[in-house]
Amino acid sequence: MKKPDKQIIACMPPRPFVIKSKQRDTVDTFTLELEPKDRKPFEWAPGQFNMLYAYSMGESAISISGDPTKKGPLVHTMRAVGTVTKAIDALKVGDEIGLRGPFGTAWPMKEIEGKDVAIVTGGIGLPPLRPAIYHILANREKYGRVALLYGARTPADLMYPKEVAAWRSRFDMDVQVSVDAPAEGWSGKVGVVTKLIAPAQLAPAKTVALVCGPEIMIHFAMLTLKDNGLDSRNIYVSMERNMKCAVGLCGHCQWGPTFICKDGPVFRYDQVESFFKVREL
């Protein structure tokens, strides 16, 4: 182990941010726009996450879902599912929130230039990938064919529906959406997201897949991507675990030899492939 040149002091209080806007996305998900009270810039990369602190309630690890190519508020989309995210959901515009970050690895936007990109995601897996989509669209000429394969349980669970519709109307992006259980008025595809992979006719030799979603979806997406000829070295996946510190010192997010907070959340699939095969690792 080599001691890094630059070290950062951990366990410090969060940085104060103010909620500039709040928007409900689905019945239990919402998006916040945040601005730092100190107005100093906040540098981050697509795929990274922050620890958001609700006063006296605690912190939760939430990926950044805004546009990295534009200056402006920091955007976070989350599901109100635990104590902290529910407390954050109870906050209003103008309220204060604490933030530590950014943490973790990023989607390999630079490394995959020149490649076709397949974005495979389910449910609330889209928000952590949205910054990568923004980056690609802002640098469209640097990438080959781009496909977004997106699945959700029901039409009401689809994230950012207007934005997805706008992407769908573009000629330089192939957007396929599927739901497991259709509702009245749904005229799109029905079935799990992995069913969208074969029809997308990815060119295995020049395609890189970016994958994020529930772990069971990731598992089947990987099998299908490999069935369709993709090499594990050309697949990237974003993972999620319980995190307390986000700096590799609390031990909670260990997955095999990795700390998801600092070695991930974005991993190249070949480096973690064997861990998926072990239950309760």
Partner 1 sequence: MAVKGRAIQVQDKVILEAGNLQGLLGTLSRKGFNLVGPTVRDGAIVYDELSSAADLPAGYVDEQDAAIYRIKKGKSAALFGYVVGPRSWKHYLWPPQLALWSAKRDGKGIQYRKDSAKPPKYAFIGARSCELAAIAIQDRVFLEGKYVDPDYKARRDNVFIVAVNCGRAAGTCFCVSMKTGPKATSGFDVALTEILDGGHRFLAEAGTKRGADVLSAITTRKAGAEDEKAADRAVAKAKGQMGRKLDTKGIKELLYANLENPRWEEVGKRCLTCTNCTLVCPTCFCMTVEDTTDLTGEALRTRRWDSCFTLGHSYMAGGGSLRSSNKARYRQWLTHKLASWQDQFGTSGCVGCGRCITWCPAGIDITEEVAAIRSSQTPGKAKPSREGR
Q: Contact positions toward partner 1, by CB under 8 A?
A: 1, 3-4, 6-14, 16, 18, 37, 55-60, 79, 81-85, 96, 98, 240-242, 244-245, 247-252, 254, 256-257, 259, 262, 278-281
In the complex, the smallest distance separating the C-beta of residue 245 from partner 1, rounded to whole angstroms, is 8
Contact of 226 with 120, CB cutoff 8 Å: no
In the complex, the smallest distance separating the C-beta of residue 53 from partner 1, rounded to whole angstroms, is 8
140, two tokens: 């469209």
Select 118 or 260, whichever has its Cβ closest to partner 1.
260
Q: What is the DSSP letter of 95?
A: -
Q: What is the DSSP letter of 64?
A: B
Select 57 or 137, whichever has its Cβ closest to partner 1.
57
- Can you list the pairs that 7-12 forms with residues at least 24 positions away whose Cβ atoms lie under 8 Å? 8/247, 10/245, 10/247, 10/249, 11/245, 11/249, 12/100
In the complex, the smallest distance separating the C-beta of residue 196 from partner 1, rounded to whole angstroms, is 24
Select 83 or 154, whichever has its Cβ closest to partner 1.
83
Select 177 or 243, whichever has its Cβ closest to partner 1.
243
Matching residue, tokens 């396929």: 176
Strand partners for 178: 151, 189
In the complex, the smallest distance separating the C-beta of residue 2 from partner 1, rounded to whole angstroms, is 9
Question: Checking phi first, is residue 136 left (phi over 0); if not, alpha (psi -120 to 50) or beta?
Answer: alpha
Select 114 or 256, whichever has its Cβ closest to partner 1.
256
Select 144 or 248, whichever has its Cβ closest to partner 1.
248
Query: What is the distance between the alpha carbons of residues 259 and 279, in angstroms, rounded to a whole number?
Result: 17
Strand partners for 145: none
Matching residue, tokens 């951990």: 10
